[in-house]
A = this chain, B = another copy of it.
Amino acid sequence: MKQGAHSPDLHTHLLNALRNGELTPGQRLPTERSFADQFGISRGAVQRVLQDLEEKGLILRKVGSGTFVSDRLDSAVETFDHGVDITRGNLAEHVEARAAFEPWVVATAARYANSEHKQELRARLERVANPEDWLDYKEGVYQFFRLLYEITENSFLLHIFDLIIKAREDVRYGGERPKTRVSLVIRNNMVRSLEAIAEPIEQNNPEKAEAASREFLDKMILSVNT
């Protein structure tokens, strides 16, 4: 819990009650106004707490009828306790998740890439090969893969990808921006890997593209675990 955040009394009280099973799924909670009275806080403060719990799937609020304990309380509590916020999460899980769906994305991109896509893919590969600095390099790699997600035209997967990238950046540098150059060895290694993915896409060869994607992600998993 953050400091000075969201009326901690009511928040922890509700959270404990939900975890202990004092509140059962579907059960109706007291009204916002009565919570405000009970805890000696304003209705606005109560609302912020309830809004937070609703976003986390623990409760449900219905205009005109009341606030209720979520039907799927167990699962919600579990993901809550896991601290899964989709904007957080640990690196290993994110890489693993990419390993789960990115080969499909790459294969699909290889299937549907047109000449315009291919040209753009080349351009983005160029940027990775000759980046201005470390940040530009990272962004370039991200843009390379993002294009593949765009080609699939599945905005849901694209969004998930963006979330993963965003989460990682938040972790890595909290505002400072390292202007270091990128090691030539690392860069060439990356370019080779991306090239191996780009080439079968240019030839509209889904099988080869998928294999190259798997190989790339296997390397990433290795580097994460060391």
Report which A residues bind B (CB closer than 8 A).
57, 75, 79, 82, 84, 86, 89, 93-94, 96-97, 99-101, 104-105, 146, 154-160, 162-163, 166
B residues near A97, Cβ cutoff 8 Å: 101, 154, 156-157, 160
**Interfacial chain B residues near A94, Cβ < 8 Å:** 156
How many angstroms from the CA of A101 to the CA of B107 in the assembled complex?
13
**Which B residues are in CB contact (< 8 Å) with A100?**
100-101, 104-105, 154, 157
User: Is the CB–CB distance between B157 and A84 below 8 Å?
Assistant: no
Is B75 in contact with A162, judged by CB distance below 8 angstroms? yes
Residue of B nearest to A166 (CB): B57
Task: Check if A159 sits within 8 Å of B96, measured CB to CB.
Answer: no
The answer on a CB contact under 8 Å between A154 and B93 is: yes
Sample of 17 further A-B pairs with CB below 8 A, known A84-B158, A93-B155: A79-B158, A82-B158, A86-B86, A86-B156, A86-B160, A86-B163, A93-B154, A96-B154, A96-B156, A97-B101, A97-B156, A99-B104, A100-B100, A100-B105, A100-B154, A100-B157, A160-B160
Report Cα–Cα, A159/B157, bound state, in Å.
14
Question: B101 and A159: CB pair below 8 A?
Answer: no
- Please list the 4 inter-chain residue pairs (A to B) with the smallest Cβ-Cβ separation, ordered nearest first: A101-B101, A100-B101, A100-B104, A93-B156
- Residue of A82, A100, A105, A162 ringed by the most chain B CB atoms within 10 A: A100
Assess the B84–A156 pair: CB atoms within 8 A: yes
